[in-house]
Amino acid sequence: MKKYLLISFILFPFISAAAVLKHDTIPSIPYDVVPKNKKKIPKFRPTIIPVKETDTNSFKIALQVFGGTQGLGGDLRLGLVRKLSLRVGSAYTPLTYLGNIHASGLVVNYSIKANFLNFHSWLDFAPFNHAQGFRMVGGMAYTYRGLLNTNIIPSGSYTQGNYVITGADIGQLNIGLTLKGFAPYMGLGFGKSFPNHFFNINLDLGAYYVNAPTVKISGTNLLSDNYLLEPKVNDNLKDYRWVPVLQLNFNFRIK
């Protein structure tokens, strides 16, 4: 009896499995059935946003010719990074003015000669994206030669009582001013640093802070003692250190 029970216990799982397969009682889910409330997932499509190209000074090169209170000159302008450019150049002032004054029979002839030469380097910074024509400018200049000379030569004659005084009796007077050395610069600029295409015009307004000038006075005859005024004149000029700059620039873009 125990033998039959053991055999039945071993065969029972196989008999049950055969019965299930025969009557097909395992439920199945068809593959083509989709629930009605299932939402369609939209496909992902990346959006490309174009980046607007901004005006930049990088790698631009221009040649600048200018005229103004520091004379005539030229600069090479280089774009360094966005909004920042460098100017390197020189200015020269060749000025000669001749005139005369008539007084009581005397003619006072005078000449004024200026000879200034500087080498300078300026940085231009445009702080505003929507107003790139507004620039803040700073830099340094070295005045290699700074001479201003006034020469006074009287001629003719005039009568004072019983005396007749000629221009030769009065003598000549020479006043020379010398300026040299480094001078920092700061100012404002109006107009874009670089032309959009080939040519543009802009303006600079600022000032140099120069070394105190030195004045030398010499004279002849009745004017020979004027050299005694040198210390007083130099003392009066020591606080006049700001030299204004007003300059019109003509720019030609190279690159």
Q: Residue 42: which residues within 8 A CB-CB, separation 6 or more?
A: none
118, 90 in Cβ contact below 8 A? yes
Q: Residue 99: which residues within 8 A CB-CB, separation 6 or more?
A: 109, 110, 111, 112
pLDDT band at 50 (very low <50, low <70, confident <90, very high): low
Domains of the chain: 61-253 (2.40.160.170)
pLDDT band at 122 (very low <50, low <70, confident <90, very high): very high
The pLDDT tens digits for 82-104 are 899 999 999 999 899 999 998 87
The pLDDT tens digits for 183-225 are 999 999 999 999 989 999 999 999 999 999 999 999 999 999 9
